[in-house]
Copies of this chain bind each other. A is one copy, B any other.
Amino acid sequence: MKLNEILLKVGVKTELLSDFELEGIAPLDKASAKQISYVDQTQYLKDLEGSQAGAVLIREAHKEKVPNHIQAIIVENPHLVFAKISHFFKKPEFSGVGADAQCGNDVKIMPNAVMGKNVFIGDGTEIMAGVVISDGVKIGKNCKIYPNVVIYRDSCIGDNVIIHAGSVIGSDGFGYAHTKDGEHIKIEHNGCVIIEDDVEIGANTTIDRAVFGETRIKKGVKIDNLVQIGHNCIIGEHSIIVSQVGIAGSTTTGRNVIMGGQAGTGGHIHIGDFVMVAGRGAVGKNLPPHTKWGGHPLMELDEWMKFYVSLRRMLKKQKVNDENK
C-alpha cells in the first residue's frame, strides 16, 4: 500500500512523497527501507542517524535531525499517527481454520481443540479439549497444553512446556496513543511471545505479545496462576513468579529471580539475577543482582522487616511522652 494513501486516510496532509510502497512499521533501530518509524521524544533523536527506516514521523521542531536517507513526515503527534498507521498492518488472528496442523509422532489432540493455519506440534505433545491455537503457532515436544488454553498467532513454545487451563498466551499488549480529546488509539501488536523449554505456566495466567519483537519467557521459568506478564517483558532463566504477580510492559529480569505472590513491577525496569522480591513487593526501579526486597514503597528486605516495627515503637514512645507532659 502506498504511504501517500495511508497518510491521506489517517488525516495527515503532507507534500507529495516519492512513490513509497509501505510494507510495515517498526521502531527506529529495526525498521527497513520499506518501513516507517517515529520519534516522539528528544532522547531518541540520536537514533535517527543509524536507522535504516524509509520514513519517519516527527515533530516540526525535530525535522532538522532527520538524515537524508530517511523521509521526514512532519506531524503534530508522531506516536498517534504511528498508532493509526499500525492498523493497516494488523495481521488477522486466524487466516482460516485447518485440520492441517503439522504434527510429530504421538501427538494427542482431544476433541474441540481448534487450530489455525500453519500450526506445528512436536512429538509427544498433548493438546487438550477446548484449546485454541491460532495461525503460525509452533509448539515443541512433550508439551501439555491443558483445556481451554488460548495461544494467539505466531507464538512459539519450546519443549516440555506445561500450560495450565485457561491461560492466554500472546494477547495484545496494553498500548495506545492518545488524542487531544482524550481518546485512545490502539497500537496494533505484531510482535510475538516466545516460551522456552521446561517452562510451566499456571491456570488463567496471561502473557501479552510484544508490540514489536518478542515477549520471552526463558528456559525453566515457573509461573503460577493468575499472573500477568506485559508486552515485551523478558523473564530470565529459572525465575519463579508466584500467583497474582503483575509484570508491567518491557520489564526484564535476570535468572533465578523470585517474585512472591501479588508482587508487581512498573514498566521498563530491570531486575538483576537472583533477586528476591517478597510477596506484595512493588518494584519501581532497577534492582541489582543478589538483593532482597519487600514492601510498597519497596525497601531492602532487612530494612522493610524493621521499618514498621520502628514506626510502631516510635508512636508508642511519643504517646507516652505526650501523656507525661
Contact = CB atoms under 8 A, between A and B. Distances in A.
Interface of A: 93-94, 97, 110-112, 114, 126, 128-130, 132, 134, 144, 146-148, 150, 152, 162, 164-168, 171-172, 174, 176, 182-184, 186, 198, 200, 202-206, 208, 220, 222, 224-226, 228, 230, 237-238, 240, 242-244, 246, 248, 255-256, 261-262, 264, 266, 279-280, 282, 295-297, 307-308, 310-312, 314-315, 318
B228 A228 contact: no
Given A94-B110, A261-B264, A150 B148 contact: yes
Contacts of A314: 314-315, 318
Chain multiplicity (copies): 3
Contacts of A112: 112, 114, 130, 132
A222 B173 CA distance: 12
B168 A204 contact: yes
Nearest to A164: B171
A198 B184 CA distance: 9
Chain A residues touching B, majority SS: loop
Contacts of A183: 198, 220, 238
A128 B95 CA distance: 12
Contacts of A205: 204
Given A202-B206, A203-B206, A182 B256 contact: yes
A228 B238 CA distance: 23
A235 B218 CA distance: 35
Contacts of A266: 279
A96 to B, nearest CB: 10
Contact of A114 (B129, B184, B256): B129
Contacts of A244: 228, 244, 246, 264
Contact of A144 (B93, B222, B243): B93
Contacts of A220: 183-184
Nearest to A267: B261
A202 B224 CA distance: 19
B315 A307 contact: yes
A242 B266 CA distance: 11
16 contacts: A93-B128, A94-B110, A111-B114, A114-B147, A147-B150, A150-B203, A152-B165, A166-B206, A183-B238, A184-B220, A244-B244, A244-B264, A264-B279, A279-B282, A280-B282, A297-B308
B228 A226 contact: yes
A88 to B, nearest CB: 15
A224 B226 CA distance: 13
B246 A246 contact: no
